[in-house]
């Protein structure tokens, strides 16, 4: 079997899993549904490994396979195959997606145990994995859009999973609509690609692109790439399409972990890496990607420092880290970007899982102001949180250290104005250290809060009444709400397994890519990027290590500074907040991103809707319609008046008519 | 005898009948007057048939007689029905078909 | 064969009118099923490599050159199948709920089917006009007699509005059709055969005014902005099963008319007014979408979403591009397949909540997961999520328009985002959020499921392989578009 066949199997298992769980809803016990879900993803993971092995068996220059099942649609020369494209890049993504998904499925198996919608959850989750794999494996731009939209749909379904909370449905809607805007960008990009190149399959497009997009035609390539970027930014929550991600935290925590941290939101990065031949022909667009990435990474970092909702801190940190990845793929550090994508998947999924455990112990309260002293109450979770935070802030030796600093090194290495990205990257790294250890220092040490104390004393999690966190109303848990029981990692095997594996990976995952020593990922991805002059550039090993040293210093200093802020001098944050209150207001309101979009787009559209409904429809259309009706009415009214109902009148009329006709002939005859 | 006499007579019958239809309000009389009009028409056709010496007109007249008989049946039936329901026997009172 | 398809519904309609009351639904149901089977046989036997097939051509009124001439080509084959299909759940739904004066109801419904099928099958221009006009008559009675009064609008006045509007359009078209025949004959033998008319051609001067006579009829029928004024009242009054077929199929006859009649016979005028039509279509998309998300009545949301969808279809047709027109035809089928279940779902929702306003609704998914999933799939079809056949339709339409006019394509694509908003809003406001008191979250019954699920399954199959349709329609559509393209050069 070649890599493509394995690729089809990778797609098949999660789809089957999703359909099977969906159809056997309420007919098989929840446990079985969960196990089927896990098995489907694990099978996909194994097939992914098989695909990689089969790929590695080929010589480097032919390490890509395209395969198609049938013609999806073909009209007017625009022929779309249902085809996949397997090369090191997509195989790499398959491994990351299925690997992390398997672990998160195992985690969810325990975490969601008391939820009444267990089947639905696993069916959606499997469907998400299928969609994500479709996105990754798609062999042409149209199928990419399909995968792109399917993950958007799965994300919507899972954000609104607790669908009787209005906040959840609203967040789902927001995410979906913003993602549809991204889809439109991709659709237009695909149409433009077809118009310029006459083909739509990856292989053919990338082969033809350099011939067509010469320097005279560069702006078309830029237009295509910018449209692709609209899709990428919308999916990856980059400015200005970022507002949905924080609201998406309404979904269950495993969903935040899988979709809104580890996999889906990094699709934009994958897209830029996948379309790198186009972006290299349109350097202006690549620069836009990098600049937007940089701006997002800084802005999101500042927000993450001030918000108090545990999941939202991590969500903003996700935006920020994806900003790094966009900087990477924008400046040409593709393998560094993909490497960071992988390590980020490890430590960010881990952080969310640990956060889920804490939130469960708090009976669904997410405000970090309320949390304290969990170090004693939940040692395992605390350890995992610390590992995640260390990796996130790039502590020397952890995976995040290797991957983040590889990006910054490359920016410094490219020199010129690209230095900005290096400087911005270091500032971002400092903020990362602050916000990640802010979590640690606020919730782990100190005297236990009420819930933590309860856990220590009784060994049981607080079983509060299920209330809606937004409204404080009591919730009915029959369907569509988390159950009464909460599960924490210390007491649930599945959660423990998922977290420990990820914790291990977050710690040591960076070792595969030690400059001058292993560099596994660079070598593995080389065939995909062999045509790229940018990817061929490398900082020397010495330079790389110098960069790593700088990163280590910044990370350690940042952590120490955070310790001083929250443990050493706990009064400082409050003073700072008061001193810089305008800046604080700006940050806590998320730079008014929601308000700006509201003002620029939502308000005008709604205003137009009101105008159309209250004014135009009523007066213009109504006038046109009723005017026509009135004319017809009055004309028919005139005729109707003749119908008096008088029999003798009719007779007279008839006679008059007959006589008139006769007279006419008589006169004409004369 | 010249055809004119027959035609004048038929025209008179027709006109008398028509005037009756127009001025009388009793449906029975209206029906009677209708019959007069039919007779006027029939007489004209008979005359021309005789004049041309073929039977077409006579066939027509037979048809007219049959139709007239049918019409009387329906018309008188209506009158009887009106009478039974104590509806005044006056065609001007029956204006339900007004548009 | 085509005559059998055409007259079967009417025959069964007559029988159900005369049959004892309790047999009426069975007779009508049998009639629609037989029609469906016949249409399916024709569709399976259809050979995409040949043009017009199953031709029936009988002289009807020789003096005027009018023939009873039926045929089926790539453009009409799936529309006929859609018509045959759409009536089955409509009759079944009515039968399951019961109705007063059942015999008459089924007679009207089935007469409507015959007229619609006639419009799709006719190959003679006057026959087409005849069926096109006849189509509205049964629906006038269906909406007027079995419709419901709303505040401010009685069913009667709503239907008067509808019939006056559509009849004005139809009469203009009748004039246009006669003019086409007379002018094309140029003193010679009159003929109204569409293919011959297209071959003979018209002087461009006459094309220009005749074009608008036809366009008026088709745009009103769709309905397109700004001629949709009759739609809101009529949609609110109509009985839902009748509305389902009305919205799913009858609106497509207008679009079909453009493709089948206007493009081949009036290519010069089409070329001349292309931009105007594109702008009307664009107006329909934007206006329909915006109106759809300001409305809270489910029928009106669907109604205005139809305006927007028909706007996309018109856009595709007048892109005068192979991909655009094929996309438009595919979208006609898709939209029909989406609308029938959508309106039946509205009926089911109304049964559960006692209302058709989404304002006070919510939470219906609670005990009805299957129902919710069916509605979700239909919703995703409505908003043309990539991966559905609807998406392929819109993709090809946008591609066609992109080749014609980039600016219009980009503005039109914003309609897709608006569609996502109004469709999802409709789903969420009914199925999600807390369940208000007085609403009954009840699972869809097996009986109702049998009416809706088959159509949903067809949607899913098409999502996997829209080429099933495109493969058969491609040649005919390309030939039609080629005529206008030649004119443009």
H-helix or E-strand spanning residue A39 = helix A30-56
Left (φ > 0), alpha (ψ -120 to 50) or beta: where does C272 sit?
Answer: alpha
Instruction: Measure B72 CA to nearest chain A CA, in Å.
Output: 17
Does A12 touch chain C if contact means CB atoms closer than 8 Å? no
Range of the domain at A578: 3-588
Number of A/C CB contacts below 8 angstroms equals 165
Q: What is the ipTM of this complex?
A: 0.90
Q: Is the dihedral of CA B44, B50, B52, B54 positive or negative?
A: positive
Of all residues in chain B, the one with the smallest CA distance to A649 is B22
Q: Do A606 and A522 sit in the same domain of this protein?
A: no
Give me the residues paired with residue C393 across strands: none
Taking only the tens place, the pLDDT of each residue in A283-307 is: 888 889 999 999 998 999 889 888 8
Average pLDDT over residues C250-271: 88
Of all residues in chain C, the one with the smallest CA distance to A196 is C403
Q: Do A23 and A100 sit in the same domain of this protein?
A: yes
End residue of a domain, out of A529, A560, A588 = A588
CA angle A165, A170, A175 (to 5 degrees): 130
Q: Could you give the CA distance from residue C179 to residue A343 in angstroms, rounded to a whole number?
A: 74
Instruction: Report chain C residues whose CB lies below 8 A from the CB of A608.
Output: 290
Instruction: Report chain C residues whose CB lies below 8 A from the CB of A620.
Output: 226
- What's the whole-number average pLDDT of chain A? 86
Cβ of A645 within 8 Å of Cβ of B94? The answer is yes
Taking only the tens place, the pLDDT of each residue in A237-280 is: 888 888 888 888 888 888 888 888 888 888 999 999 999 888 88
A413 near A537, Cβ under 8 Å? yes
Cβ of B22 within 8 Å of Cβ of A646? The answer is no
Which chains reach chain C with 3 or more Cβ–Cβ distances below 8 angstroms?
A: A
Instruction: Report chain A residues whose CB lies below 8 A from the CB of B91.
Output: 647-648
Cβ of A646 within 8 Å of Cβ of B21? The answer is no
User: What's the confidence (pLDDT) of residue A465?
Assistant: 67
Identify which of A643, A648, A651 has the shortest CB distance to residue B97: A643
Identify which of A641, A646, A655 has the shortest CB distance to residue B92: A646
Number of A/B CB contacts below 8 angstroms equals 33
Instruction: Report chain A residues whose CB lies below 8 A from the CB of B88.
Output: none
Q: Do A207 and A326 sit in the same domain of this protein?
A: yes
Residues 598-617 of chain A with CB under 8 A from chain C are 605, 608-610, 612-613, 617
Query: Which residues touch C186 (CB under 8 Å, ≥6 apart)?
Result: none
Domain B3-88 CATH assignment equals 1.10.287.3510: yes
Looking at per-residue confidence, does C303 or A372 come out higher?
Answer: C303
- Tell me whether strands A78-86 and A65-75 are parallel, antiparallel or unpaired: antiparallel
Taking only the tens place, the pLDDT of each residue in A487-521 is: 877 788 888 888 889 899 888 888 888 887 778 88
Taking only the tens place, the pLDDT of each residue in A348-402 is: 999 998 988 888 888 777 888 888 888 888 888 888 989 999 999 888 888 888 8
User: What's the confidence (pLDDT) of residue A296?
Assistant: 92
End residue of a domain, out of A531, A554, A588 = A588
Q: Do A627 and A501 sit in the same domain of this protein?
A: no
Q: Could you give the CA distance from residue C300 to residue C295 in angstroms, rounded to a whole number?
A: 6
B and A touching (3 or more beta-carbon pairs closer than 8 Å): yes
Q: Could you give the CA distance from residue C330 to residue C324 in angstroms, rounded to a whole number?
A: 10
Instruction: Measure B94 CA to nearest chain A CA, in Å.
Output: 7
End residue of a domain, out of A550, A569, A588 = A588
Q: Is the dihedral of CA C246, C248, C253, C258 positive or negative?
A: positive
Instruction: Report chain A residues whose CB lies below 8 A from the CB of C475.
Output: none
Q: Is C57 helix (H, G, I), strand (E, B) or coil?
A: strand
Residue A311 reports pLDDT greater than 90: no
pLDDT interval class at C194 (50, 70, 90): confident
C270 near C487, Cβ under 8 Å? yes
Instruction: Measure A622 CA to nearest chain B CA, in Å.
Output: 28
pLDDT interval class at C267 (50, 70, 90): confident
Query: Which residues touch A88 (CB under 8 Å, ≥6 apart)?
Result: A55, A63, A64, A524, A525, A526, A527, A528
pLDDT interval class at A473 (50, 70, 90): low
Average pLDDT over residues A37-63: 88
Residue A480 reports pLDDT greater than 60: no
Identify which of C161, C294, C421 has the shortest CB distance to residue A610: C294
Residues 53-92 of chain A with CB under 8 A from chain C are 70-78, 80
Cβ of B92 within 8 Å of Cβ of A648? The answer is yes
Instruction: Measure A62 CA to nearest chain C CA, in Å.
Output: 30
Q: Do A470 and A610 sit in the same domain of this protein?
A: no
Residues 18-47 of chain A with CB under 8 A from chain C are 22, 25
User: What's the confidence (pLDDT) of residue A452?
Assistant: 80
Structural domain count of chain A: 2
Q: Do A41 and A170 sit in the same domain of this protein?
A: yes
ω into C223 cis (within 30 of 0): yes
User: What's the confidence (pLDDT) of residue A441?
Assistant: 87
Taking only the tens place, the pLDDT of each residue in B1-55 is: 678 899 999 999 999 999 998 888 888 898 899 999 999 999 999 999 988 888 8
- Tell me whether strands A78-86 and C53-61 are parallel, antiparallel or unpaired: unpaired
Instruction: Measure A81 CA to nearest chain C CA, in Å.
Output: 10
Q: Do A196 and A86 sit in the same domain of this protein?
A: yes
Residue B99 reports pLDDT greater than 70: no
Q: What Rg, from alpha-carbon coordinates, does chain B have? A: 16
Average pLDDT over residues C112-138: 91
Cβ of A180 within 8 Å of Cβ of C467? The answer is no
Q: Do A564 and A609 sit in the same domain of this protein?
A: no
Instruction: Measure B98 CA to nearest chain A CA, in Å.
Output: 4
Residues 166-185 of chain A with CB under 8 A from chain C are 166, 169, 172-173, 176-177, 180-181, 183-184
Taking only the tens place, the pLDDT of each residue in A393-443 is: 888 888 888 888 888 888 888 878 888 888 888 999 999 998 999 888 888
């Amino acid at each position: 079997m070649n890599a493509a066949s394995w690729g089809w199997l990778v797609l098949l298992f999660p789809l089957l899993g999703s359909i099977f769980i969906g159809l056997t809803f309420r007919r098989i016990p929840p446990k079985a549904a969960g196990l089927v879900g896990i098995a489907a993803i694990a099978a996909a993971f194994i097939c992914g490994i098989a695909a990689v092995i089969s790929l590695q068996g080929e010589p480097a220059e032919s390490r890509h396979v395209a395969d198609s099942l049938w013609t999806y649609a073909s009209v007017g020369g625009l022929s779309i195959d249902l085809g996949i494209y397997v090369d090191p890049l997509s195989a790499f993504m398959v491994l990351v997606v299925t690997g992390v998904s398997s672990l998160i499925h195992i985690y969810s198996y325990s975490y969601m145990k008391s939820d009444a919608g267990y089947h639905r959850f696993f069916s959606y989750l499997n469907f998400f994995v299928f969609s994500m794999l479709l996105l990754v494996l798609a062999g042409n731009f149209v199928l990419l859009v399909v995968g792109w939209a399917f993950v958007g749909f799965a994300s919507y379904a899972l954000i609104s999973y607790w669908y009787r909370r209005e906040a959840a449905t609203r967040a789902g809607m927001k995410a979906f609509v913003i993602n549809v805007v991204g889809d439109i960008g991709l659709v237009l990009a695909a149409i433009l690609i077809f118009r310029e190149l006459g083909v739509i399959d990856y292989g053919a497009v990338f082969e033809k692109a350099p011939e067509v997009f010469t320097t005279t035609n560069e702006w078309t390539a830029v237009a295509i790439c910018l449209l692709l970027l609209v899709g990428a930014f919308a999916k990856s929550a980059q400015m200005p399409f970022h507002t949905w991600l924080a609201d998406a935290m309404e979904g269950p925590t495993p969903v935040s972990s899988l979709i809104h941290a580890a996999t889906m939101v990094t699709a934009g990065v994958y897209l830029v890496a996948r379309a790198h031949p186009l972006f290299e022909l349109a350097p202006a667009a690549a620069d836009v990607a990098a600049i937007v990435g940089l701006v997002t990474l800084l802005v999101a970092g500042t927000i993450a420092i001030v918000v108090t909702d545990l999941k939202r801190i991590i969500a903003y940190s996700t935006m920020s880290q994806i900003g790094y990845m966009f900087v990477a793929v924008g400046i040409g550090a593709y393998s560094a970007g993909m490497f960071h994508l992988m390590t980020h998947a490890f430590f960010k999924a881990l952080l969310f899982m640990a956060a889920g455990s804490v939130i469960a112990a708090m009976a669904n309260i997410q405000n970090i102001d309320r949390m304290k002293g969990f170090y004693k109450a939940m040692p395992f979770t605390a350890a995992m949180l610390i590992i995640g935070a260390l990796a996130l802030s790039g502590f020397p030796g952890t995976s995040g250290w290797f991957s983040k600093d590889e990006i910054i090194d490359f920016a410094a290495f490219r020199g010129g104005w690209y230095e900005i990205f290096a400087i911005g990257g270091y500032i971002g790294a400092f903020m990362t250290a602050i916000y990640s250890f802010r979590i640690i220092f606020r919730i782990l040490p100190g005297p236990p809060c009420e819930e933590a104390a309860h856990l220590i004393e009784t060994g049981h999690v607080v079983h509060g009444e299920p209330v809606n966190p937004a409204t404080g109303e009591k919730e009915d848990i029959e369907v569509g709400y988390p159950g009464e029981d909460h599960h924490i990692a210390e007491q649930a095997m599945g959660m423990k397994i998922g977290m420990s594996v990820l914790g291990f990976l977050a710690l040591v995952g960076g070792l595969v890519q030690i400059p001058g020593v292993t560099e596994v990922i660079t070598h593995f991805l080389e065939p995909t990027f062999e045509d790229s002059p940018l990817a061929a550039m490398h900082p020397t090993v010495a330079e790389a290590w110098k960069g790593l040293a700088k990163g280590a210093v910044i990370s350690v200093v940042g952590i120490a500074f955070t310790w001083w802020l929250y443990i050493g001098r706990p009064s400082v944050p409050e003073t700072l907040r008061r001193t810089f209150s305008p800046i604080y207001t700006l940050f806590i309101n998320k730079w008014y991103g929601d308000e700006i979009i509201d003002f620029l787009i939502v308000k005008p559209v709604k205003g137009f809707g009101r105008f159309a409904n209250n004014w135009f429809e009523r007066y213009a259309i109504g006038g046109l319609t009723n005017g026509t009706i009135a004319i017809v009415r009055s004309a028919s009214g005139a005729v109707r008046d003749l119908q008096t109902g008088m029999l003798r009148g009719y007779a007279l009329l008839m006679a008059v008519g007959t006589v008139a006709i006769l007279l006419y002939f008589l006169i004409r005859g004369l | 005898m010249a055809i004119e006499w027959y035609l004048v007579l038929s025209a008179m019958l027709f006109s008398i009948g028509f005037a009756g239809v127009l001025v009388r309000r009793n449906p029975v009389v209206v029906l009677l007057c209708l019959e007069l009009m039919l007779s006027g028409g029939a007489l004209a056709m008979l005359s021309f048939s005789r004049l041309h010496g073929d039977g077409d007109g006579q066939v027509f007249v037979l048809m007219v007689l049959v139709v007239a008989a049918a019409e009387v049946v329906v018309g008188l039936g209506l009158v009887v029905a009106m009478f039974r329901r104590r509806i005044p026997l006056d065609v001007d009172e029956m204006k339900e078909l007004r548009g | 064969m085509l005559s059998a398809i055409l007259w079967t519904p009417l025959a069964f309609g007559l029988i159900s009118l005369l049959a004892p009351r309790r047999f009426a639904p069975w007779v009508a149901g049998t009639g629609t099923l037989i029609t469906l089977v016949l249409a399916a046989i024709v569709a399976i036997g259809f050979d995409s490599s040949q043009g017009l097939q199953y031709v029936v051509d009988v002289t009807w009124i020789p003096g005027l050159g009018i023939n009873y001439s039926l045929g089926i080509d790539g453009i009409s084959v799936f529309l006929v199948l859609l018509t045959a299909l759409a009536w089955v759940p409509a009759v079944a739904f009515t039968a399951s709920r019961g109705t007063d004066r059942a015999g008459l109801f089924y007679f009207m419904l089935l007469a409507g089917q015959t007229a619609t099928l006639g419009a799709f099958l006719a190959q003679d221009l006057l026959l087409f006009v005849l069926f096109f006009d006849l189509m509205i008559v049964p629906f006038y009675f269906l909406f007027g007699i079995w419709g419901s009064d709303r505040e401010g609008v009685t069913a009667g006045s709503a239907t008067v509005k509808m019939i006056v509007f559509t009849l004005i359009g139809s009469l203009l078209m009748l004039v246009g059709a006669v003019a086409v025949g007379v002018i094309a004959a140029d003193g010679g033998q009159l003929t109204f055969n569409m293919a011959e008319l297209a071959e003979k051609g018209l002087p461009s001067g006459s094309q220009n005014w005749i074009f608008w006579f036809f366009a008026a009829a088709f745009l009103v029928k769709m309905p397109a902005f700004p001629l949709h004024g009759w739609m809101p009242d009529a949609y609110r009054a109509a009985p839902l099963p009748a509305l389902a077929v009305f919205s799913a199929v009858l609106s497509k006859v207008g679009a079909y008319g453009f493709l089948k009649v206007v493009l081949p016979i009036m290519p010069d005028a089409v070329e001349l007014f292309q931009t105007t039509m594109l702008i009307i279509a664009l107006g329909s998309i934007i206006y329909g979408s915006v109106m759809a998300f300001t409305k809270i009545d489910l029928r009106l949301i669907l109604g205005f979403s139809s305006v927007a969808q028909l706007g996309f279809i018109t856009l595709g047709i007048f892109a005068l591009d192979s991909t655009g027109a094929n996309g438009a035809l595919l979208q006609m089928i898709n939209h029909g397949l989406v609308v029938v279940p959508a309106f039946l779902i509205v009926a089911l929702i109304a049964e559960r909540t006692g209302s058709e306003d989404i304002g006070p609704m919510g939470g219906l998914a609670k005990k009805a997961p299957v129902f919710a999933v069916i509605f979700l799939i239909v919703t995703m079809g409505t908003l043309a999520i990539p991966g559905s056949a609807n998406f392929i339709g819109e993709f090809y339409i946008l591609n066609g328009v992109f080749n014609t006019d980039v600016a219009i394509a980009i503005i039109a694509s914003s309609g897709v985002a608006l569609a996502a908003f109004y469709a999802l809003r409709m789903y969420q406001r009914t199925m999600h959020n807390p369940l208000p008191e007085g609403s009954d979250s009840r699972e869809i019954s097996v009986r109702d499921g049998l009416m809706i699920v088959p159509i949903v399954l067809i949607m899913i199959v098409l999502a996997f392989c829209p080429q099933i349709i495109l493969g058969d329609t491609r040649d005919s559509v390309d030939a039609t578009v080629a005529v206008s393209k030649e004119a443009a050069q």
